[in-house]
Structure 1
């Protein structure tokens, strides 16, 4: 069993139906509309809910940032590269994948998963080693988006990228010394965007595997952006470019919140 905590992660875990929730514990002394709405959703889905003290919830979540709700959920089943390639593209006719080369900060990983979901990414490649695990912190940072994105765990990222190239997917890395600028690249093809480690960037072998290396031009004193911010910039540039072609947009099951929610 894994643990999820917070209003958004628990709510989205129930809504997505991706993996069963075993038990939900909630603060017996907290009563507000958002918490009650999530508990009502859990009960309608047949999930057992029971009250607990704040200390009990903190012990289960291993943090005080649980917002009065903690859920025990079945472990995630990861996909393989072939699973990602077997499904049709979510938007339009071209795949858009995200590969993460050693992103170890769970808050960065969560933010990237949230952006990937919002940008309609078809799948995310995560290496088994040198990568933040998909913990409750990641789920909280992603505002529940981690329950929707399709994730493939790969033993060797370079081999996984080579497999994508065999499937006619262009592999594009982000590097501060790359060229051309990200906005000059044509994203209207099958594309895998590769983002590197916090501070150190892409590993050399991963960098050599990329078909192109792009950069984000910086006008200030610092040379680069945080990896989750840089990823968001490039992912939504791809969305902007692809918007000129017919796009199949799925109707959201509920109102979506915007930036800063």
Structure 2
């Protein structure tokens, strides 16, 4: 097995894969349960010996219903498969994650009868941040997340675990050039907003209509090239001594600002 960060010809690769089958490793009870309920492709299920509880029993029942290959193994085996992450006693191997397309994102918005709302992540490197953003995006009505192929976190087991199953419900698009995608979105009538310290206060921001919001890298923020591509910049007002926020926290605040204008009152 190959786990986590690995050096390949001097490059850092953040993936957990099976060398023989090129499978991805996903883990965590809710993640596995969601995959089983959604009837997603699964190659093999590993469950820790001696585990019990309602959720474990439900997982076992679904595994047997689908006639999947499963194996009861010691905790040490699951620790190895998940690279020491909190697997909660359940690990599955699945075919490599299938990224989706911009068309899938627009289709999701259309199916919900809503104006498109996308996130563009400019080089988010921490898989935990990516997973958290996906989780919040699903909760707050985002129709798609766009990430770059290079110098950014990809969809791995850690991302899936952190998203607590949300990854199964929101399209993630992986592209070579974010600038080209921004231009493509503009031709489809989508307004592009980028986060920047000098931007407009989000409290007075008009977020109605089809929009995409660019969230910057944890350390450097949104690149100048993408800032130049944006129609407008926005910022979160802060009054504390620390004038910055974790990328996933900042993204969640911005998503909620949009959702507060779109989610109907009960």
Which TM-score tier does this pair reach, normalised by the shorter chain?
Answer: 0.7 to 0.9
SS in 1 for 2:146: strand
* Contact 1:187 1:242 survives alignment (8 Å): no
TM-score by length of 2: 0.86
Aligned to 1:126: 147
Aligned to 2:97: 76
1:47 aligns with 2:68: yes
What's the Cα RMSD here?
Answer: 1.8
- For residues 100 and 64 of structure 1, what CA distance do their matches in structure 2 show? 24
1:94 aligns with 2:115: yes
Aligned to 1:256: none
Quick one: which of 158, 167, 170 aligns to 1:137? 158
1:199 aligns with 2:219: yes
1:13 aligns with 2:31: no
- The one-character-per-residue Cα deviations of 1:232-258 (angstroms, maximum 9, x if unpaired) are 11111111111359x9xxxxxxxxxxx
SS in 2 for 1:66: coil
TM-score by length of 1: 0.88
- For residues 6 and 101 of structure 1, what CA distance do their matches in structure 2 show? 28
Q: CA 1:202/1:38 → structure 2, altered by over 3 Å: closer, same or farther?
A: same
Aligned to 2:244: 224
1:107-256 to 2 correspondence within 5 Å? 107-178=128-199, 180-243=200-263
* Contact 1:80 1:154 survives alignment (8 Å): no
Aligned residues: 244
SS in 1 for 2:43: strand
Deviation at 1:187?
1.5
Gaps of 5+ in 2: 1-22
- The one-character-per-residue Cα deviations of 1:177-222 (angstroms, maximum 9, x if unpaired) are 21x2112111221000110000210011011111110000001111
- For residues 201 and 121 of structure 1, what CA distance do their matches in structure 2 show? 21
Q: CA 1:75/1:102 → structure 2, altered by over 3 Å: closer, same or farther?
A: same
Structure in which a larger fraction of residues adopt strand: 2
- For residues 36 and 129 of structure 2, what CA distance do their matches in structure 1 show? 24
- For residues 52 and 69 of structure 1, what CA distance do their matches in structure 2 show? 10
Deviation at 1:59?
1.5
Deviation at 1:229?
0.6
- For residues 91 and 85 of structure 1, what CA distance do their matches in structure 2 show? 10
* Contact 2:47 2:89 survives alignment (8 Å): yes
1:32 aligns with 2:53: yes
